[in-house]
Amino acid sequence: MRTLYKFHGGVHPPTNKTQSNLTPIAQAALPSKLLIPLHQHVGSSAKPVVEVGEYVLKGQRIGRPEGHLSSAVHASTSGTIAAIDMQRVAHPSGIPDLCITLIPDGLDEWIALDTCDDWTTLSHTDLRHRLREAGVVGLGGAVFPSDMKLYSHKHKIKTLVLNGAECEPYITCDDMLMRERAGEILQGAEMMRALLYAEEVLIGIEDNKPEAIAAMKSAVVAGNHQRMEVIAVPTVYPGGGAKQLIRVLTGIEVAAGVRSTNMGVQCFNVGTAYSAWRAIRFGEPLVSRIVTVTGNVSRPQNYDALIGTPMDELVAQSGQLPGTTGYIMGGPMMGVLMPSRQVGVIKAANCIIASSDKLFPTAKPALPCIRCTRCADVCPSELQPQELYWFSKAKNFDKAEDYHLFDCIECGACSYVCPSNIPLVQYYRFAKSEIWAREAGKKAADAARERHEYRESRIEREKREKTEKLAAKEKAAQAAKTPLQPVVAAANPDADPENTMQLKIQTAIDRAKEQAAAIKPKNVEQLTPQQQAEINDIEARRARIRELAKDNTDAQP
C-alpha cells in the first residue's frame, strides 16, 4: 500500500456526478454547423490554411501551428468552409476571436490517416511533431500543447502522474473515459513515459469513482504495464489540481512559479493520454472530446462531441429544461459562464452545465469579514485569504503580493465556505489584474523614458557632430591659410578639476541608470506562456467587468 500525502485544506461540495455517469458515452449527433476557433490552446493562435468555400475532409488541417508554442486545428467533420471570421467564442469575456465555420456535408468522411502500428519505431522528435500536428493539447482544462510538455532535460523526470482525479462537481467526462477506454489511456501513458524517460506512472483517481478505478486497474494488468500504478486518492476539492495531485501521490510540493519537471514530476490528464494515443496509433487529430452535459437538462449525459459543435445544439440532445439561464463551461467551482449559448465546443470544454436559478441561486449580499478563517482552513495553497481580501479591497497590492497573492490558484474553496458570502476569488482576480496592469504600465513608461533619453542623446550627438564638423572645416580652412604651427600637447583631462567632476557625475548617473534597469517588474517579466494566457484571460475578464459596470450605471438613472 502506497503512503499518500495530504495537502492542506480543501472542501467537500456536493459532487452531483451521478446524474451524468449512469449512462455510457453517447456519440453526439452531427450538428448543423461547426464553429471552430483557431485559438483553443495556450500559445499563439493557429493560422488558417483553408479558404472560404473550400471542401474539407474530417481530420484535415485547417489551421497550422504558428511559432514555437502553438497547436494545429482540424476540420471536425467533412464539409464546406462557410466563413473565416470573428465570432464569439467559449470565453467569458465575450470578445470575438477568429473562427472557422464549417457546414458538415453529413458524410463525416475521414481524410487519409497516417497510422502507426508500433510507435517505438518512431523517433521522439517525430512523435512530438506528430502530436503537435494532431493538435493534441491538455484536456484537463489548461489546453497546453502536449508536445511542449513531453521533453525531458537530462532525464530528470522520475514520475509521470496521470490525472484522473476529476474533483470538480458535476463533471464526469474523465470518469466515463476511464471506464470505457482505459486500455487506450494506458497505451498513451506508456508513450508519454517513454518520451519523458520517466520511471514510474502514477494514476490518481478520486475514490468516488470505484468503477473507473477498477477499469483502470484491470487495464494495467491486461496490458501488462510495469511500474504503473492506479491509486485511489481521497475525494476532496481541489484534489484534481495538478499541484495538489502531485503532492498527494509523491509528497512533493511544487511552489508557484516552479515547474514540476524541475522536481522530477510531469502531469497529464487522462483524456490527453487517450488523445495522444489516438493521434499516434491511428493518426487521428484531436477533432472531438468527451463532454459532460448536465445541470438543468432532463437527460444528463456524456457525449463524444465534435470540436466546434454549438453548445446549444449539444445541450438540446440532453433535453434542455425551461428556466435555463445560461451555460457554464467547466464545473461550478472554477467554470466560466459562456457569453452566448451558440459558442462552439472547444478542446478545453470538459463539461457544459445548463444553469438555472434553482441550481445556482442568487448569492446573498456580502457581509463584512469576521476573520473566522474558514477560508484559511480550506486554502490548498496555505494562504491567508482573509488578509489577501483585506489588502485587495484596500488596493494595498504590495502587501497582497507580500502575502503571496500570486500563489493563489483561484480554486474558489475560500469563496465556497465564506459565511459572509464574500466573493473572495473575485477580489484576488481583481488584485492580480491590477498588479499586472500596473507593472505593464511601468514597463511601458520605462520604454517611453528610454526612447526619450535615446532621442535626446541622438540630438545631442548630432549637434556635437555638426559643431565638430564645422570646427574641422574651419580648422582646415585656417590650416590652409596659416603656416604650420607647432602642436601644443593636449592637456591631461584628469588634471582639469572640472573634468574630473564631470566624469564622476557621469559615472554616478550611469550607475544609477544601471540600478534602475536592474529593477524589473517581477510579475510581468519572463512569463511562461501559461501565465501570459492567464493574464490575457484576466484582461479580457476585466474588459467584461468594465462593460458590465457600464451597463449597470447606464441602467441607473
Partner 1 sequence: MSGFFSPFITKPVSVSQIMLHVLLALIPGIAIYVWFYGPAILISLTLASITALVIEALMLKIQNKPLAPYLKDNSALLTAWLLALSIPPLAPWWLVVVGTAFAISISKHLYGGLGNNPFNPAMIGYAVLIISFPSHMTHWLTPHGLAEIPLSFPDQLNYIFHGMLPDGVRLDAVTMATPLDTLKTQLHLNTQLKDILEMPIYGRMAGIGSEWVATGFLLGGIYLLAKRLISWHIPAAFLGTLFITSGLFHLLDPSHHVAPLFHWFSGAAMLGAFFILTDPVTSPTTPRGKLIFAAGAGLLTYLIRSFGGFPDGMAFATLLMNICVPLIDAWTQPKVFGKKEKQP
**Interface with partner 1 in residues 83-102 (CB under 8 A):** 92
Q: Which of 19, 88, 30 is nearest to 313 (CA)?
A: 30
Rounded least distance, CB 380 to partner 1, Å: 7
Query: Helices 270-281 and 124-133, interaxial angle, to 10°?
Result: 100
Rounded least distance, CB 407 to partner 1, Å: 5
Rounded least distance, CB 15 to partner 1, Å: 11
Cβ 530 vs Cβ 145: under 8 Å: no
Whose Cβ is closer to partner 1: residue 169's or residue 283's? 169
Stretch that binds partner 1, among 107-115, 131-139, 420-428, 463-471 (CB under 8 A): 420-428
**Contacting residue, 420, 531, 532, 536, with partner 1 by CB under 8 A:** 420
**Contacting residue, 11, 35, 69, 524, with partner 1 by CB under 8 A:** 11
Whose Cβ is closer to partner 1: residue 316's or residue 545's? 545
C-alpha grid cell, residue 287: 477533432
Q: Which of residues 477-516 bind partner 1 (CB under 8 A)?
A: none
Q: Which of 122, 251, 119, 130 is nearest to 189 (CA)?
A: 119
Using the rule CB under 8 A, is 65 a contact of partner 1?
Answer: no
Q: What is the 3-state secondary structure (H, E, C) of 339-399?
A: CCCCCECCCCCCEEEEEECCCCCCCCCCCCCCCCCHHHHHCCCCCCHHHHHHHHHCCCHHH
Using the rule CB under 8 A, is 318 a contact of partner 1?
Answer: no
Stretch that binds partner 1, among 26-34, 131-139, 251-259, 312-320 (CB under 8 A): 251-259
x/- contact string, 439-478, with partner 1 (CB under 8 A)?
Answer: ----------------------------------------
Whose Cβ is closer to partner 1: residue 78's or residue 235's? 235
Whose Cβ is closer to partner 1: residue 64's or residue 158's? 158
Q: Which of 183, 238, 254, 180 is nearest to 206 (CA)?
A: 238
Supply the DSSP string of 405-438, one letter for each residue.
GGG-----HHHHH-TT---HHHHHHHHHHHHHHH
Q: Which of residues 122-141 bind partner 1 (CB under 8 A)?
A: none
Q: Which of residues 151-180 bind partner 1 (CB under 8 A)?
A: 169
C-alpha dist (Å) from residue 447 to 442, 443, 450, 454, 528: 8, 6, 5, 10, 21
Q: Which of residues 511-550 bind partner 1 (CB under 8 A)?
A: 541, 544, 548
Whose Cβ is closer to partner 1: residue 3's or residue 125's? 3
Q: Which of 8, 20, 2, 417 is nearest to 239 (CA)?
A: 8
Rounded least distance, CB 9 to partner 1, Å: 9
Cβ 102 vs Cβ 82: under 8 Å: yes
DSSP code, position 262 = G
The amino acid occupying position 78 is S
**Contacting residue, 2, 153, 364, 481, with partner 1 by CB under 8 A:** 364
Rounded least distance, CB 256 to partner 1, Å: 7
**Contacting residue, 361, 486, 497, 557, with partner 1 by CB under 8 A:** 361
* Whole-angstrom distance, CA of residue 40 vs CA of residue 83: 18
C-alpha grid cell, residue 207: 475514490
**CA angle (504 as vertex; 499, 507 as ends), nearest 5:** 125
C-alpha grid cell, residue 94: 465575450
The amino acid occupying position 503 is L
Residue 420's CB is within 10 A of a number of other CB atoms, namely 17
Whose Cβ is closer to partner 1: residue 139's or residue 538's? 538
Rounded least distance, CB 229 to partner 1, Å: 17
Q: Which of residues 330-349 bind partner 1 (CB under 8 A)?
A: 330, 332-337
Q: Which of residues 376-415 bind partner 1 (CB under 8 A)?
A: 376, 380-384, 386-387, 403-404, 407, 412, 415
The conformational region for residue 80 under phi > 0 = left, psi -120 to 50 = alpha, else beta, is: beta
**Contacting residue, 50, 328, 400, 538, with partner 1 by CB under 8 A:** 328
